[in-house]
C-alpha cells in the first residue's frame, strides 16, 4: 500500500494527464461534446473527492505533525481547494464545449496547477519529514478507501470552506484528541509507578 503522500502524487499525475486529454479533444474538428463529457465528468468528480479526502485525512495530520509552516500550508491549500471547486461547479452550469464551459474548466485547471505545485513543494515534503512511515501508510489506506467510497462525489460536502475556520476546527479537534489520550492513560487503572514486584 503506497503511503498517503504517494497516493496524492498519483492523483496529481492523473489530473495532469486528464487535462492534457481535454487539450487534445479541443483541437479535434469537430469537437465532440460526448467525448469531452466522458473525460471531464470523472475528472471533475475526482477533483472534488480528492479535495475532500485531503481535508478529512491529510491536512488534519499535517496540522498535528507538520513543521512550523503547517498552518500556513493548510490555509493556502483550503483556499486553493475552494478555487478548484468554484471552477468545477461553474463548468457544471454551462453546456459542455461552449466558451463559458472552457473558461470554467481553465479556472479549475489553473487553480489545481497552483495547488499541486504548492503541495508538492511544501505540504507533502513537510509531512514526509515529520510523519512516521507507519502513519503515512495507515493514512494511505484511509485515503484510498475514502476515494473508492465516494468515487462519484456523492454523499460528501463539496462546498467551499472558510480556511481560517477549517484550521481552527481541526486544531480544536486535535487538542481534544490529545487531551482524550492523556485522560485515557490517566484512567486506565495504572498508578503510573511501574511494577512493584521484587521491591
- Contact between 176 and 92 under an 8 Å Cβ cutoff? The reply is no
Give every CB contact of residue 109 below 8 A, 6+ residues apart in sequence: 19, 87
State the average pLDDT over residues 95-101.
96
State the average pLDDT over residues 34-56.
97
What region does 31 belong to: left with phi over 0, alpha with psi -120 to 50, or beta?
beta
State the average pLDDT over residues 50-61.
97
State the average pLDDT over residues 161-175.
94
Q: What is the DSSP string of 11-74?
A: HHHHHHHHHHHHHHHHHSSS--HHHHHHHHHHHHHHHHHHHHHIIIIIHHHHHHHS-TTHHHHH
What region does 142 belong to: left with phi over 0, alpha with psi -120 to 50, or beta?
alpha
Confidence of residue 187 (pLDDT cuts 50, 70, 90): very low
What is the C-alpha separation between 161 and 51, in angstroms, rounded?
A: 11
Least confident of 13-27, 91-105, 175-189: 175-189
Span 57-81, pLDDT tens digits: 999 999 999 999 999 999 999 999 9
Report the share of the chain in percent with pLDDT over 90: 80
State the average pLDDT over residues 32-44.
96
Q: How high is the pLDDT of residue 180?
A: 55
Amino acid at each position: 500500500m503506497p503511503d498517503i503522500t504517494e497516493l496524492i502524487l498519483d492523483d496529481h499525475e492523473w489530473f495532469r494527464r486528464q487535462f492534457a486529454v481535454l487539450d487534445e479533444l479541443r483541437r479535434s474538428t469537430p469537437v465532440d461534446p460526448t467525448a469531452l463529457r466522458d473525460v471531464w465528468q470523472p475528472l471533475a468528480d475526482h477533483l472534488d473527492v480528492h479535495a475532500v479526502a485531503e481535508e478529512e485525512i491529510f491536512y488534519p495530520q499535517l496540522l498535528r505533525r507538520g513543521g512550523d509552516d503547517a498552518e500556513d500550508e493548510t490555509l493556502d491549500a483550503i483556499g486553493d481547494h475552494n478555487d478548484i471547486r468554484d471552477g468545477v461547479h461553474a463548468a457544471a452550469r454551462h453546456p459542455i464545449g461552449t466558451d463559458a464551459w472552457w473558461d470554467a474548466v481553465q479556472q479549475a485547471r489553473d487553480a489545481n496547477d497552483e495547488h499541486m505545485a504548492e503541495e508538492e513543494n511544501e505540504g507533502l515534503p513537510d509531512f514526509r519529514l515529520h510523519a512516521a512511515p507507519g502513519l503515512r501508510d495507515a493514512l494511505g489506506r484511509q485515503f484510498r478507501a475514502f476515494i473508492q467510497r465516494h468515487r462519484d462525489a456523492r454523499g460528501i460536502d463539496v462546498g467551499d470552506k472558510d480556511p481560517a475556520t477549517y484550521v481552527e476546527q481541526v486544531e480544536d479537534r486535535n487538542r481534544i484528541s490529545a487531551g482524550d489520550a492523556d485522560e485515557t492513560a490517566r484512567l486506565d487503572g495504572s498508578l503510573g509507578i511501574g511494577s512493584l514486584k521484587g521491591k
